[in-house]
Structure 1
């Protein structure tokens, strides 16, 4: 025990002597040398802190990126959001669709943005109508940035004065004679798109039978109980709800099912959008879709249409003036002949 104590005292004395020698050596430096040593020490400490910070950042970036990818991947959240966005276009924008296979998406830090083109069928061809860019923070979208290429684009936010499809009980805000004059003065050898409003509600197949053969019924505006007022219960303008009248053979279209009619697909889409209404309302022109009450109304009353979009040769579309069930017409896009 005594030997251990002596050894400890020797080691302590040795350490003390070394420390005193180091202090003596430092004190032997000039004041300038001591300042330089301190400065060097500070710089080394600063560089060390910077390197540690950079290392932490370089570690955080991939972790955040991986976390974001996992967020959008788990449960197919990204695909689900894209599905809601694209289907909103089909049922809120008359005669408009998109090529889902060409949709581009990019994931960033806790964000995702998607871009896609939209198309209109004029005559027998699909024409690029514009481009959408939509940014998400997690699953919350911003309002889309649009670049529309149409000659007669629909208003960014619908209202009673600028809409193109009108319920039989809604007033028509434009001169109907002027629109027929426009159609009559368009040259033969062109194809056009027209929005027609009906005198009364009718079933889709009944409307189809009223139309001349050499034209195509493209999109049906469905009565949802709010179109007469054109606003929701809070007075906010609503957009028409409807669906393509024809089977769509393109592989990305929701209206290409052999097992369901377009009416059934339409109802399924409304049910999807009702569960994701905040996203759908950001994408749609109207900022109120009131889907719960409108969907309940359709399920109770069935599908009845009050308006439609029709396309075909201009000289054939003029025959619509002879159909007594058509209350009003508004001319949409016009293109060169492609009706082959």
Structure 2
């Protein structure tokens, strides 16, 4: 073998040994800068992979959560049931107030529902927008309503003994009655108004209707529920009056548009419904205690008798209420331009 060939073989062998030693000793054939770049590239690839996996999981979760929410509110008519409780609470806890259920807006979110609706008052012969409500539900738990009221003389947001507009015969009148009659007298002629009247005694609805002058409209009746004299529940928390519209309501969305029953029967059905959903009803109502179960039991035992009412009509006619012996006190509500024809 030639010396030149033998030299090449020894050189190859030496190179092979160096590579083997480098592998064994952990010495990398790359420079420190190259190693840093390789590690950085690996980290970036791992980060991108994690992001893509997370996005894929989220893209799967979002439609699953959305579908689950729609199923929750759809199965058994949960959304419609909650809306029904909210709207009926307005009718029986807010004197002379109703709403257009067909114009109610609802929106489903992640395990939540938002509803918005306008409320109206009948002053004279026309319905006027009284304000709007917005309520958020987390599953079936409502938030306190966000309200934007447009009334000149709104009822207080949180009722108390000192702010009631209709008062039980056994309770103290919290305002000066003569001042309210003076206000009614000083309202300009050619206007219509809404007034809250308190009675000298509890009576049947028909008795009250028959005692009123003719050219006015009885709008809402405050029902004696056994707690209205004290105006608080057993724990001392202020309650709100319970009542119902006195007139047949022809609007198709109203629960008091009934052809086969009286408003009294509808009222009892609503109170029974709300007593099973009192958490929702108490959030919607101005008073944060309704005590519906005990008040419903009292009404069923003693029958429907009323101690107050909301009446609307021309100012000149409403003045005649001062001569009605069954009326103990009156408080002026909203006033509008003439619309009685």
Q: Normalising TM by the smaller chain, what interval?
A: over 0.9
- SS of the residue corresponding to residue 120 of structure 1 reads strand
Q: Which residue of 2 aligns with 1:79?
A: 80
Q: Which residue of 2 aligns with 1:126?
A: 127
Displacement after TM superposition at 1:54 (Å): 1.1
Q: Which residue of 2 aligns with 1:50?
A: 51
- SS of the residue corresponding to residue 36 of structure 1 reads helix
Displacement after TM superposition at 1:84 (Å): 0.2
Q: Which residue of 1 aligns with 2:98?
A: 97
Q: Which residue of 2 aligns with 1:289?
A: 290
Q: Which residue of 2 aligns with 1:213?
A: 214
1:256 aligns with 2:257: yes
1-structure distance, mates of 2:120, 2:81: 22
Superposed counterparts of 1:1-340, under 5 Å: 27-340=28-341
2-structure distance, mates of 1:22, 1:87: 82
Deviating runs (4+, > 6 A) in structure 1? Answer: 19-24
1:212–1:50 Cα change, 3 Å = same
Q: Deviations over 1:143-198 (max 9, x none)?
A: 11111110000011110100100011101011100000000011110000000000
CA contact (8 A) 2:22 2:28 kept: no
Q: Deviations over 1:307-332 (max 9, x none)?
A: 00000001110010110110000000
CA RMSD of aligned residues (A): 1.7
Deviates more, 1:218-227 or 1:50-59: 50-59
2-structure distance, mates of 1:55, 1:91: 50
2-structure distance, mates of 1:89, 1:21: 85
2-structure distance, mates of 1:60, 1:184: 66
1:94–1:31 Cα change, 3 Å = same
Query: Which blocks of at least 5 consecutive residues in structure 2 are unaligned?
Result: 1-19
2-structure distance, mates of 1:235, 1:117: 32
Displacement after TM superposition at 1:23 (Å): 9.6
Q: Deviations over 1:190-245 (max 9, x none)?
A: 00000000001111111111111110000000000011111111111100000000
2-structure distance, mates of 1:22, 1:262: 94
Query: Which blocks of at least 5 consecutive residues in structure 1 are unaligned?
Result: 1-18
2-structure distance, mates of 1:179, 1:152: 13
1:148–1:34 Cα change, 3 Å = same
2-structure distance, mates of 1:242, 1:62: 44
- SS of the residue corresponding to residue 27 of structure 1 reads coil
Displacement after TM superposition at 1:39 (Å): 1.2
Displacement after TM superposition at 1:27 (Å): 3.2
Larger radius of gyration: 2
2-structure distance, mates of 1:316, 1:63: 62
2-structure distance, mates of 1:105, 1:71: 15
CA contact (8 A) 2:198 2:329 kept: yes
- SS of the residue corresponding to residue 28 of structure 1 reads coil
Displacement after TM superposition at 1:22 (Å): 9.7
